[in-house]
Structure 1
Amino acid sequence: MRFDVLTLFPDLFPGYLGQSLLKKAIDRGMVQVELHDLRRWSKDKHHKVDDRPFGGGPGMVLRVEPVVECVEDVQRRANGPGRVVMLTPQGRKLNQQIVEELAQEDRLLLLCGRYEGFDQRVVDLLQPDEISAGDYILNGGEVAAMVIIDAVVRLVPGVLGEEQSTVEDSFSTGNRHLEWAQYTRPREYRGHKVPEVLLSGDHKAIAQWRREQGFLKTKTRRADLLETPPTELPPPAGSSEPPAQKNEPTKSAPIQDKTKTDN
């Protein structure tokens, strides 16, 4: 898996990429991350890549020429052009399904915005996959690019010690519930005990407890994730029984996205 990060601030990445699972994946040759400074494609003697917006207004806009020419040049450097992802608040909101979709690619070009964003002709010419990290304000797309790298790398075969852990993660395909509560030693701390079922050795009972706990946590905290109404508990795996019908959940009005700067 190869990531090409196109950014004005490449020095933000080495520290992050040099730690933990990401470092191991890179050292083992399972993942490749290349950083490209957009200023290198500027024809301005001061290496400027931004300018004031036509029509007036605050801030600066990233110019079309250095961005498009950087992407085209980087695409020629390896086999296959790769999938261009623009980090922008106007894109579809990142979730685990999108992460799984991106993980199917051999190469991703992550285009990090700054200031007031990109000249619209960057979008018109490159037709990127526009993705937002969420409905909140960031100084630029670099942190969002790190989020995508981190989330996608976990799904690269062999990166994690236990492949099953990605299947059981919250939001993963086949498990749209939040993960159950986890415990380790000691068995008791300040009066708080580990649930007895987890110490029983009964794997069937443990699996049932975890399934129920994950469902209840999802119903309480993220009912929107449930494919069935949040008042229903899905039947155990392999069961042909439909869940019992209860009260329909109340639908809330959609929240409007008022984010401005690049995520």
Structure 2
Amino acid sequence: MKIDIVSVFPEYFKALDVGLFGKAIERGLLDVSAHDLRDWTHDVHHSVDDTPVGGGAGMVMKPEVWAECLDDLLGLEPVEMADDGSETPDPPEADLSKPVLIFPNPSAPLFTQRDATELSRAGHLVFGCGRYEGYDARIPRYYRAQGVDVREYSIGDYVLNGGEVAVSVMLEAITRLMPGFMGNPDSIVEESYTGSNALLEHYQYTKPAVWRGMGVPDVLTSGDHGKVDRFRRDEAIAHTDRLRPDLIERLDCKALNKADRKTLMALGWEVSGPHPRKRAD
């Protein structure tokens, strides 16, 4: 996978050289380049922002600088458009053989494990790191109109100083799903949010079996793998019920086995419909 990252602080991404990500770069699984947006400026101050049209606090990142940079990275020629901003172009059909342009944005849809799984199959990802009050809204609109698959994602209900942290989060979530990235691919099979019937992961324990007077659940030391699997599944369901009942509501009841249904009903869920529904009592 080829990865291009555009930022006014490209040195931030030196941290990618460590751990599994760094090893994937060394092995040639990833080809990563961090670019300084200021390299595409032409004024003496290397300005990348200007005041908001219509007034207001802060500064907004300029479209002309971003466009020169992205045209180079995406191999596009400049196009003059007749666009008064009143319509949003329909996104093109996803084609992961072509570059995907991604901007972190706290006002965008939430980035999920499903998005990470899809993007792990892409050949070329281009990330744009916003700063200040963000980037000019015409930038993603322009590139969508040119047929580029443009994604804007939020990583949570909070605001950061810039997109660098969010890009790092998305990169780790995406690349760890690539074949060959993890030393043991089985380690990602039962994680939180994985699969169509996603649950939070069960709790994990290691040796010693008793630590500072606290023991692990007896079933985990029983040697009965069937009971261990059922215990972990029940714990995942109960953990999800406590913290993320919205994930329970998305489960497909047809895909649940008899034991799953029994556990959910004991927790107060009705499982006779297409999706679980919390009982009023």
Shared fold (TM-score, shorter chain, > 0.5): yes
Which residue number corresponds to residue 58 of structure 2? Answer: 59
* Residue in 1 that maps onto 2:32: 33
Contiguous gaps of at least 5 residues in structure 1 = 252-263
Task: Give 2:137's match in structure 1, choosing from 120, 133, 137.
Answer: 120
In the alignment, is residue 167 of structure 1 matched against residue 184 of structure 2? no
Question: What does 1:3-42 align with in structure 2 at a 5 Å threshold?
Answer: 3-14=3-14, 16-42=15-41
Paired with 2:269 and 2:247, the residues of 1 have a C-alpha distance of: 17
The alignment's C-alpha RMSD in Å is: 2.6
The one of the two structures with greater contact order (alpha-carbon pairs below 8 A, sep at least 6) is: 1
Matches of 2:197 and 2:16 in 1, distance apart?
A: 29
CA distance in 1, matches of 2:10, 2:241: 41
Structure 1 runs, 4 residues or longer, greater than 4 Å off: 243-247
Identity %: 40
Amino acid in structure 2 at the alignment position of 1:249 = K
- Provide Cα deviations, 1:192-242, integer angstroms capped at 9, x if missing partner: 11112111111111111111111110011111111468xxx94269x999x
CA distance in 1, matches of 2:28, 2:152: 28
* 1:131-142 → structure 2 map (5 Å cutoff): 131-142=153-164
1:89 is paired with a residue of what secondary structure?
coil
C-alpha contact (below 8 Å) 1:50/1:61 kept by paired residues: yes
Separation in 2, partners of 1:197, 1:122: 56
Deviation at residue 246 of structure 1 after TM alignment: 4.4
Once the 2 structures are TM-superposed, how far is the Cα of residue 41 of structure 1 from its aligned partner?
0.6
The number of residue pairs the alignment matches comes to 244
- 1:103 aligned partner, one-letter code: S
8 Å contact 1:25–1:159 — kept in the other structure? yes
CA contact (8 A) 1:167 1:174 kept: no
5+ long unaligned stretches in structure 2? 77-96, 145-149, 271-276
2:2 aligned partner: 2
> Cα gap change, 1:250/1:108 in structure 2, threshold over 3 Å: closer, same or farther?
farther
TM-fit CA distance, 1:81: 5.0
2:127 counterpart residue number:
110
| Per-residue deviation, residues 64-86 of structure 1 (Å, max 9, x unmatched) | 11101101101239xx7510011
1:207 maps to 229
CA distance in structure 2 between the aligned counterparts of 1:146 and 1:9, rounded to whole angstroms: 13
CA distance in 2, matches of 1:56, 1:154: 43
Report the counterpart of residue 46 of structure 2 in structure 1: 47
Evaluate the alpha carbon distance shift between residue 227 and residue 163 of structure 1 in structure 2; reply closer, same or farther with a 3 A threshold. farther
SS of the residue 1:164 aligns to: helix
Q: Deviations over 1:125-145 (max 9, x none)?
A: 112211111110100101000
Q: Would you say the 8 A contact 2:105–2:163 is kept in 1? A: yes
SS at match of 1:48: coil
What amino acid is the match of 1:91?
Answer: A
Cα distance between partner residues in 2 of 1:91 and 1:76 = 26
Q: In 2 relative to 1, CA 101–114 (structure 1 residues): closer, same or farther, beyond 3 Å?
A: same
CA positional deviation for 1:4: 0.7
